Structures are given as structure tokens and as C-alpha cells.
Structure 1
Amino acid sequence: MSVPAPPAKARSLHTSLFAQVAVALVLGVAFGIVAPEGAQTLKVLSDAFLKLIGMIVGPIVFCVVVHGIAATGDLKKVGRVGFKALVYFEAMTTVALGLGLLLAYLVGPGRGMNIDPASLDGKALGTFQDNARHLQGGGVGAFLLNLIPTTAFDAFARNDVLQVLVFAILFGVSLSLVGGRAGQAVTDMVGALSSVLFKAMGLVVRVAPLGVFGAVSYTVGRYGAGSLAQLLSLVALFYAAVALFVLIVLGAVMRLTGLSILRLIAFFRAELAIVLGTASSDAVLPQVMRKLEILGVKPSVVGLVVPTGYSFNLDAFSIYLTLAVVFIAQATNTPLSLGDLLLVLAISLVTSKGAHGIPGSAIVILAATLNAVPSIPAIGLVLVLSVDWFIGMARAAGNLLGNCVATIVVAAWEGDLDRARAKAVLSDPTVAGDLLRTDAGDPLPEGA
């Protein structure tokens, strides 16, 4: 017999994950200001939390995808879901890139800076530029080859989500074709393993406030809030652009499914707080997949769309890519013709894909884009290095919301969304708690 969830007003703040993370954010900022040197040593807390999450991301993606495909048994459906997801990803990426380009051109955050590219020190770009040339020079063929793991164990060892996804799809399809008692036995075993991994995820998430505290303390201690002053116009414009994209574009898409974007944001408030604190959407990948299933999305859709979207559906990053490129051109007084703007848009459609997991991926892809647009000085990348972490907070949060919406939309498009359940969960947070207590796995912390 399930135990009913306590009423919302009876829940104390110390049991709410969102409240704990919010407090950790405030304390992290305060400690970074008061003791900047000591705060920089706390990065180990953030690194440890991200490693704990990374430890279970690959296995969870594998189990969810394999079990979803094998349990569905309809291979045509799997292909159909994948195709619809890619169509949606490309449409939203184009809109996001166009929005960044339009806002940068209209607002002009870099106008008047009058930066001489010859005065910029490019030493800090060494590694980024090398990785960018490698990413750009590899072409489509190298990108496709990189989707295939050298070995299945190598994909898990390097925690390459895309390679794990490819292996999981192959394994799940094969398992579905085997069928019979042997196939069912393996399917049941994968399902049981998935429950254990979600239990582990529930335990790891409880230390998220420590990870957020360490990340924020380190960042404020090292860079200080003053580092925002020079490029405040770019940072402010980017945050405004992400807000516009989420509320207007994603809001309109959500209305087509009969759901509210504001209620979706409230539903994922704890995950968004963790992402803002760590500037990484990887930190909540397993928990997001779990909560989307609770929302009423079939596991097979969650397993296919969410991991793929982490590399192919980077909405907020796409906004930043074109915004930053035009900002650098404006700051260095580089004239941009209509042809240059269209070239930036075309190149960005390619470079915005598939760099998930590359260290400093935002800077690497931005460098690759600049290298492909000869009229803009690539050395201008130095201008945005100091605020990349602050921009990364909104970038990661926007990407997360974009992937949540993408999963819901594809599920609705495919008929794999329980709309009544979704509306009930979004309307009353206690419903999610009740559903979690009746499902297999570990209940999420209250307030999550």
C-alpha cells in the first residue's frame, strides 16, 4: 500500500532539493566574495559531484534506450521517433540561430568597443584553436565515424553519450529481433538494472547542493562579479535572448501540445537550479529522463530523444553562437554584409552539432565557426573568454528546457504522451510525488 505524499505546506525547506540548491547558490556567492582564495579550493566539490553524475549517465542511457526499444517491439516506430526528433531539432536550431543573429544585429552589443585585433593576446586560445581546427577539418565523414565507438566498453569508459546511444540502439534492436524467452529475460534484467541505477541517481542527487556550492564559490572567487562589467551588454542580451526563446518560441510549441511552459519550468525548478549552479546540463541528465517519464512520456521516446538532443538540440547554445560571432565582428569594427551573415548562419548550422563532451565545447565550436568565416578575426574570441562561465549558466539551462520540450513534442507527435497525466503532474506538484512512490525506483527528494 503506497504512502500518500504530505501536503505541500507541511513540507519543510530542509527537505526541498530546490530550496537546498538555492541556499547553496547564495552561500557560494557570499563565500566567493568574502574569501576568494579559499573559495577556489572548493572546486573539488563541483568536480566530484559532476563525476558522480557522469559515472551513471552512460549506464542509465543504455538501459533506458535498450529497455524502451525491446519493450516496444516495433522497430519501425523507433526509426519514426528518431526521424521526427531530428526534424524538430533542425527546425528549432535554425530558429535559435536566427534569433541570435537578429538580436545581435539590431541591438549591437559590440558597437563602440573599437577593439584592435592586433592588440589581443591569443595565448589563451592555443588549446581551443587546436581543437576547433580538428573539429572543423574532420568534416562530416569524421563526425559520422566518431558516432561509432571503438569498442562498447570504450564508449562507457569515456562517457560519450552519443556513442553509448548508438550502441544501445543496436543492442535494443537486436534484442527485439531475438524475442522469445531469451529476449524477454534480458529485457527484464535490463529493466531491473535500470531501477537500481535510478536508485543510485536518487542518492547522488542528494549531494547536489554541495556541488553547486563548490562551483559557485570557485567561480566568484576566481573571476569575481567585476569580470561581468566589461561585457555586461553581451551577457544581458544573451540572457534576454534565452528568456525570449523559452517563453515565446518554446512556449508556443508547448501550447500546441496543450501544456504550459511556465508550469514545465516550475516542474523542473530543482534541475534548473542545479544547472545554473554548475553551468552543466549533464549534472541532471538522469534525473530529467526520470521526471519526463513521470510526466507521461513513454520511456522509449525519452531514451531516444533526450540523449540525442544533448548533442543535436542545443537551442540556447545556438543563440549564443551567432550572437557571439556578430558581437566579435562589431567589437573589432569588422563590416558584415548580408552574405557574411548568411554564411555565419550556414556555418553555425553545421558547427553547432555534435561537440557535446568536448572540454570547453562552447569556445571550441565558436572558434571553429570563426575559422570558417574569414572576414571575422578569430582572435576576437579572447573577448568572450572571461564571461563564458556566466553565459554558460543560461546556456545550459536553456539547452535543458529545449530538450525537455523537444521530448514532449516528439512524444505528442507520435502519440506517446499521456496528456491527462502530464496536465495533472504540472498542475499539482504533489501528484508527481504520488506517482514516484508507486513507480519502481527511488523517489526523488521532496521539492524536486
Structure 2
Amino acid sequence: MNITTPKLPNKPKKSTFSIIITNLTFWVLIAIIAGVLLGHFSPENGMKMEIVGKTFVDIIKLFIGPIIFLTIVLGISGMGNLKKVGRIGVKALGYFEIVSTIALSIGVTIAYVFKPGKIDKTGLALQDASQYTNHAAENFSWLKFFLSNFTLQVLLAAIVCGIALNFYQKREQTILVLERFSKVVFKGLKYVMYLAPLGAFGGMAYTIGKFGLQTLIPLGKLMLCVYLTMILFVFLILGSILKYYKISIVSILKYIKEELLLVLGTSSSEAALPSIMVKLERMGCSKSVVGLVIPTGYSFNLDGTSIYLSMSVIFLAQLYDVHLSFFEILSVIGILMITSKGAAGVTGSGFIVLASTLTAIHKIPVEGLAFLLGVDKFMSEARAITNLIGNTVATIVISKSEHDFTELNLESVTEE
């Protein structure tokens, strides 16, 4: 007598519709569209949504410190090789400087080819830029940059603690406690990320409500040039770097699409910092490399910001009909190579850096920054997205160069 084992019923497959409506990306995109519509058709109500976007970003920022600290400390203590920590740091800084310089050069070149500053100057509504220009070069210092940059402070503290933990007698017990705490922090982050659509909605509603779509018209050419330049940089430069390692830039962009949309909605790359660290580890990058490269990159690897700053300087030169010699152009790139590193973690830092650069050149009126105030907010999304992609690629490159990269995994895994 044959006994047939009954087959378990197959799990019903989810329909395409159910997959879409349960996807966080879908709701973030819907929220962005809703925010644009509210800001355009009801500006007053749109501006009131600022608190929603700011609150979400503020909540995310609460996780940045603990995640950076725990990731780096556990990464360094788990290496057991302090020489490797130093090697990764040197590689990362070298890579950052090379790629950032390429970004600056591309920004200057595109600005000279398309001449976004050669536009009709009538009808430009100038705003008071004194709050930024008063903080010119003499008011910027590396000490102030460090003291106002929370990410760098946590990064330094974590490196010191990670190194010290290697010499601690109760190292294993301490690591076990930190790992448990790390799981709690990431679990909390998972639930906070469900609020991402609200953050995106608030950010977009406020932006459109305050500045209006019409503010894009006078400076549309500049904005278009900035966006096109960043697209070229991502697909040609960063794409070529990844192609060397036989990885498609398109596949990476699909993998981090939730983070890209989140940055688009909130105009803050910091909002995606915790989740991008998780995804890079799932992708195959080692925990130690992710913990060192991503936080450092958020202060020193600002590809999008580099492109924006270089194009803005050339734009203002064209706007005022100021001719820059080849030597002066090289000087602009050289100055921005240094000052652009201070364009993170400081309120209004982009304008401080531009003011510092223009002051150093002594040819372009610093007051020209007022022309950029109207559209700077709209270009901040492109800067933040390019910065995020640049740091993602940098982490993959450093992890690959360290031969510390497991098999590439681009499937989004949802923790239960």
C-alpha cells in the first residue's frame, strides 16, 4: 500500500498591484507628487508642511550618530588589524580627492561650453545674500568646520574607541553588548523609515510652496546644465569606475532607488545615510569598509556639491561678463578642491564656500550669490543625490580593492 505524502498548498503569489502598493518606493513617489501639487496650487498650506519634512529628517539624524559609532567601532574591533584601518582610510581619502577633482573639472568645462550665465538678466528677483556673504573666507576655518560637523566628531570618537577596544581585556563581552545594541538601533530605524513618504511630502510641499515653479524660469538654463552635468558624471565617470569591476551603474541605482527618492523628497542626503549603510552591507561590502568610507565620504566626497560649486563660479563670471584666464580657471579648481571639503554639516555652507572662493579670486562680485538663492533649493536635490551615488560607488571600490567584497547581492531583503 503506497502512502502518498500530501502536498502542501503553494503560497499564493502576490499580484503586481499588491506588490506596488506595499512598496515603500511607490508611496514615497506618490508623496513627492502630492507635495508638488499642494505647494503649487496652495502655497500657503505647502509652506506649512515644512515642519513635517524637517521633523522626519531630524528623527533620522538621531540615528546617524549611534549607527556611525557602532558600525565603526564594531568594524575596527572586528578587524584585529589596525594596519588595515589605516590603509582603508588612506585609500578612501585618495579616491575622494581624485574623483572630486574630476567632478570640479567637468563642472567648469560644461559651464564654459553651454554658457548658462549668458542669459537675459531682466526680471531676476534678487534676494538679500548678505547673511551668507558676511561669512566670507575670513570667517571660515577648519576648526569651525570640525566643531560644527557632528558626523566628523562621531567618526573620530568611533575610530579612537575602536582602536582602544582592541587592547581591552573584556573585548569579546563589550563587542557582544555593542552588537545587541546595534540590532536594536537598526530595528528602530526600520520602523522610522515607514514615515519616509511623510518626510518626502513635507519637503516637496514646502519647497514648491515657498519658491514657486516660476522661479525656475530665469535660471532654468543653469539648473538644466547642473542636472545634465551630474547625470553625465554619474553614468560616464562613476559608471566607468563600476564597469572596471564588472558592475552595472544602472543595477546599483535600481538597488538604492528608495534612498534616491528619499533624498529627492527631503533634499538631504543625511536622511538616507543609515539605510544606505545597511544596503551596502547586504550588497556584499564589508562592514568595516562601509563604516569607515560612508561617514568620511559625507564630509569629504561631495561629487554633486563639487560640480555645483564649480558651475556656479563660472555662471557668475559669465553673468558679470568677467573673463577668467586659463590660470585663473585652474586657480578656481584648486581653491574649490580645498574649500568644497567644508561644504557639509554647516548651515548655508554652500554659500560660505562660494563666498570664500569668490573672495579669493578677487574678480567676481560676491554679491552675485543673490542670483543663486532662488534656485539653490531646487538644485540641492541633484547635489544630494549625486553625493549619495558617489559615496555608494566609493564604498564598492574600496571594498573591492581590499578584496573584502562577498558575492554581489542586489536583491532587496526585507527584515522580518
Between 353-362 and 225-234, the greater mean CA deviation after superposition: 353-362
| Alignment match, 2:131 | 127
Aligned partner of 1:64 in structure 2 is 71
The equivalent residue for 1:296 is 284
What is the Cα deviation at residue 332 of structure 1? Answer: 0.9
Query: In the alignment, residue 321 of structure 1 is paired with which amino acid?
Result: L
Displacement of 1:14 after TM fit?
A: 2.5
Aligned to 1:218: 206
| TM-score (ref. length: structure 1) | 0.87
Match of 1:164 in 2: 154
Within 5 A, what are the aligned runs for 1:361-400? 361-400=349-388
When structure 1 is superposed on structure 2, of 336-345 and 399-408 the one drifting more is 336-345
SS of the aligned residue for 1:131 comes to: coil
1:237-282 Cα deviation digits (max 9, x unpaired): 0000000000000000001122110000000101100101111100
Structure 1 residue 247 and structure 2 residue 247: aligned? no
Structure 2 match to 1:50: 57
Tell me the equivalent position of 1:446. none
Q: How does 1:13-52 map to 2 (within 5 A)?
A: 13-52=20-59
1:162 counterpart letter in structure 2:
L
Tell me the CA shift for residue 114 of structure 1.
5.7
Partner of residue 343 from structure 1, selected from 320, 328, 331: 331
Instruction: Determine whether 1:353 maps to 2:341.
Output: yes
Residue 410 of structure 1: aligned partner:
398
Are the structure 2 counterparts of residues 83 and 135 from structure 1 closer, same or farther at C-alpha, using a change threshold of 3 Å? farther
Cα shift readout 1:171-211 (whole Å, capped 9, x = no counterpart): 00000122x4x111111111111111111111111101001
- Counterpart for residue 8 of structure 2: none
After TM superposition, list the pairs within 5 Å mapping 1:46-125 onto structure 2. 46-113=53-120, 124-125=128-129
**Residue 225 of structure 2 is aligned to residue 205 of structure 1:** no
Cα displacement (A) at 1:337: 0.9
RMSD over aligned Cα atoms: 2.1
Do the aligned partners of 1:57 and 1:159 also contact (CA within 8 Å) in 2? no
SS in structure 2 of the partner of residue 293 of structure 1: helix
In structure 2, runs of 5+ residues without a counterpart are 1-10
Instruction: Indicate if the aligned counterparts of 2:234 and 2:389 stay in contact, CA closer than 8 A.
Output: yes
Shift of 1:121: 6.0
Map Cα deviations across residues 144-174 of structure 1 (whole Å, 9 max, x no partner): xx54x6xxxxxxxx77001100000000000
Alpha-carbon separation, structure 1, partners of 2:284 and 2:114? 41
Task: Compute the TM-score of the two structures, normalised by the length of structure 2.
Answer: 0.93
Q: What whole-Å deviation, never above 9, does each CA across 1:67-92 have from its counterpart, x for those lacking one?
A: 00001111000000000000100000
Identity of aligned residues (%): 39
The residue correspondences of 1:428-443 to structure 2 (distance < 5 A) are: 429=411, 432-433=412-413, 436-437=414-415
8 Å contact 1:113–1:332 — kept in the other structure? no
Q: Residue 357 of structure 2 aligns to a residue in which SS?
A: helix
2:129/2:373 contact within 8 Å kept = no
**Structure 2 Cα separation of the partners of residues 416 and 28 of structure 1:** 42
Aligned residues: 406
Whether contact under 8 Å (1:242, 1:394) holds in the other structure is yes
Q: CA deviation at 1:134?
A: 4.8
The change in CA–CA distance for 1:11 and 1:301 in structure 2 (over 3 A counts) is: farther
Structure 2 Cα separation of the partners of residues 135 and 263 of structure 1: 43
2 CA distance for matches of 1:58 and 1:135? 27
Contact 1:58 1:159 in 2 (8 A): no
> For residue 270 of structure 2, what is the amino acid of its counterpart?
D
1:440 is matched with which residue?
none
How many angstroms does 1:373 deviate by? 1.2
SS in 1 for 2:67: helix
Segments of structure 1 that go 5 or more residues without pairing to the other structure are 150-157, 438-442, 444-448
* Shift in alpha-carbon separation, 1:70–1:44, aligned structure 2, 3 A: same
Offset from partner CA, 1:48-68 (integer Å, 9 cap, x none): 001100111101100000000
